Amino acid sequence: MNAIDTIINDPSGSAHASAGQRMTGSEMIVQVLVDEGVDTIFGYSGGAILPTYDAVFVHNRREQDAGRPGMPLIVPASEQGAGFMAAGYARASGRVGVALVTSGPGATNTVTPIRDCMADSVPIVVICGQVPTHAIGSDAFQEAPVPSIMGPVAKHVFLVTQPERLEATIRTAFEIARTGRPGPVVVDVPKDVQNWQGVFHGASRLAIPGYRRRLAQLDGSQLADAACADFFRMLAQAERPLIYAGGGIVNGGAAPALREFAAAFGFPVVTTLMGIGVVDTRHQLSLRMLGMHGAAFANYAVDDCDFLIAAGARFDDRVAGIPGRFAQGARHIAHFDIDASEINKVKRVHWSHVGRTADALARLTEYGRQAGFRRDWSAWHAHCAALKETYAMNYDRASELIQPNHLIEAINRLTKGEAIISTGVGQHQMWAAQYLDFREPRLWLTSGSMGTMGFGLPAAIGAQFANPGRLVIDLDGDGSIRMNLGELETVTTYGLPVKVVVLNNFGDGMVKQWQKLFFKGRLSASDKALHKKDFVKAAQADGFEFARRLDRKADVERVVSELIAFPGSAFLEVIIDPDAGVYPMIGPGQTYEEMITGDWIRSRNPRPAKPPDSSELF
């Protein structure tokens, strides 16, 4: 098949101001980025991507001469940082993030953020330079087999060896990244393709008929009256309905529909780690986060419910450790998802809908109202309220040491659920999820499925570029921030008012917690008390004017207030109780009945920690 036969030329492309002009491949890449509304690029240069970097430079110079901001190219400390900045941008804005990197190590350094985005359904486009087409496969300098490496971890990978397809490929990459279940798309562009010259069409796309057919099916998947009736038939039999909402609600823009659905019929809501913010955490119907480190009251509500409504969630191992015993009291389970492969993958359900969840929830709300559906669930609401009071989050408030929970509560009182919070991965991540409020989606940015340490700081940078007027805080751990500590300089280089808070317990706290519980206290390679890192000096060396260490409990409120009020980049290291643990905790492969609540949270099934067997996950 001729390359041109696989390209669709939209007639509307003739209206494009540049249609019919001759351009280099690099200029075409830049023009498509402009057409797609890209306003920020994150990337690190190198030989194989230099033609495109030059095209970005020329474009930005032309825009700036005309009084427009152009498309700034933000240079991180590493390509991994670029990938996570693009991810933070996408997570905080809902728009496609863009990373532009060179070949070989430049491309392979983005593997982790690409997999992270795939696991959490985050739309980014990574454009990689590649050695010239004739040199592919010859082990040329800085060559890497990008399609082979990236294929298993990305939503899609393109290697452009036919330059006539370049424009259409870049445009199609954005379409694939943002549509359906979002995800990362990689475009590998050889240097000779970037230097090639051809005619710019203005609206060409690749045909991809199978993909677009599946999208059309999703668009056409509407809830019929019979399906709505079946849902409400099950609901009429319920005494204790509960919504279990996940990251798919955020990614699908379905939070307003879910909030209206819950309010219309009085459903309490628990969320996954990735679903935080789909309902205001301060709302009376919110039971906050469920799962391995979810609130005890949330987990008990799941055990007690008799109709579980899963929306944009996938019953993953952090939530449903033993699927057969998850929500074991539920007579019925309903499941909404945009991805058909998630239905019955882990947990068998009684009713399901594959399609756009926002549309489905709106349809059910409309149907229930028109049918006059009414149920008195006041007893269930009272039960949930009692769970929240009896099994409330708590910690050692009398300790003389700074408890991380106390520090986070101080931040929360000032941010009032309106700040964008990014985190690394570990104990600090779970404390933040447990104790911070979020009034809306896209304020909580964290690496969920991959659990990638080093995510927090570059993600906060990307989020700040996406939302220049908002307060952005990276709440990090001493182990996690070390992974991408070089991005502190990126914060100050670009004058970003990002606030960085490092909870320092001198080690990999979550690993230490597991070792204490399940490995008889043998702290193998997790205790970093002997390390000499001075985070404050590191921040000062990277240009932070506000760089302080907080080690007295009496100073918490004052120093946190000063941090938040500081107008520019600010860094705070907090020396926390090194023995503070994250509770509640459910061991891998264990049930909510076996939840460990620690010394400060009540349990309705007190029992000692049971070690996981050798086959269980971390």
Q: Are residues 194 and 261 in the same domain?
A: no
Instruction: Flag whether pLDDT at 1 surpasses 50.
Output: no
Question: What is the model's pLDDT at position 527?
Answer: 78
Q: Are residues 81 and 191 in the same domain?
A: yes
Across 404-427, average pLDDT: 98
Across 122-130, average pLDDT: 98
Instruction: Flag whether pLDDT at 468 surpasses 80.
Output: yes
Of these residues, 57, 64, 141, 284, which one is catalytic?
Answer: 141
Task: Examine the residue annotation and report whether 328 is marked as an active-site residue of this protein.
Answer: no
Helices 357-370 & 225-236, crossing angle to 10 degrees?
Answer: 70
With H, G, I as helix, E, B as strand and everything else as coil, classify residue 162: coil
Q: Are residues 213 and 238 in the same domain?
A: no
As for how many domains the chain has, the answer is: 3
Instruction: Report the C-alpha gap between 552 and 401 in whole angstroms.
Output: 7
Q: Are residues 421 and 359 in the same domain?
A: no
Of these residues, 28, 85, 174, 191, which one is catalytic?
Answer: 191
Across 475-488, average pLDDT: 97
Q: Are residues 303 and 426 in the same domain?
A: no
pLDDT band at 532 (very low <50, low <70, confident <90, very high): confident
Domain that holds residue 553: 404-575
The answer to whether residue 587 sits within a structural domain is no
Alpha helix positions (H), 179-313: 191-195, 209-220, 225-236, 247-251, 255-265, 296-304
**Cβ burial 395-428 (10 Å sphere, 16+ → b, else e):** bbeeeebbbbbbbbbbbbeebebebbbbbbbbbb
Of these residues, 142, 450, 557, 562, which one is catalytic?
Answer: 142
Sheet containing strand 332-337, strands side by side? 286-289, 269-271, 241-245, 307-311, 332-337, 351-354
Percent of the chain with pLDDT over 90: 90
Question: Among the three residues 575, 590, 606, which one is the final residue of a domain in this structure?
Answer: 575
Instruction: Report the C-alpha gap between 123 and 155 in whole angstroms.
Output: 9
Q: Are residues 368 and 455 in the same domain?
A: no
The answer to whether residue 611 sits within a structural domain is no
Q: Which helix (H) or strand (E) holds 423?
A: strand 420-423
Question: Among the three residues 167, 187, 217, which one is the final residue of a domain in this structure?
Answer: 217
Task: Examine the residue annotation and report whether 544 is marked as an active-site residue of this protein.
Answer: no
Q: Are residues 384 and 500 in the same domain?
A: no
Q: Are residues 437 and 488 in the same domain?
A: yes
Question: Among the three residues 185, 217, 249, which one is the final residue of a domain in this structure?
Answer: 217
Instruction: Report the C-alpha gap between 258 and 595 in whole angstroms.
Output: 29
Of these residues, 510, 513, 573, 595, which one is catalytic?
Answer: 510
CATH number for 505:
3.40.50.970
Of these residues, 79, 164, 342, 409, which one is catalytic?
Answer: 79
Task: Give CA separation, 568 vs 304, 419, 500, in Å.
Answer: 47, 15, 11
Q: Are residues 139 and 236 in the same domain?
A: no
Instruction: Flag whether pLDDT at 213 surpasses 70.
Output: yes
Q: Are residues 306 and 378 in the same domain?
A: yes
Q: Are residues 126 and 240 in the same domain?
A: no
Task: Give CA separation, 50 vs 28, 534, 599, in Å.
Answer: 14, 37, 58
Rounded to 5 degrees, what angle do the CA atoms 316, 318, 320 make? 60
Task: Examine the residue annotation and report whether 118 is marked as an active-site residue of this protein.
Answer: no
The model's pTM is 0.96
The answer to whether residue 607 sits within a structural domain is no
Q: Are residues 60 and 192 in the same domain?
A: yes
Instruction: Flag whether pLDDT at 489 surpasses 60.
Output: yes
Across 331-359, average pLDDT: 97
| Average per-residue pLDDT for the chain | 95
Which tokens hold the place of 87?
């991810």
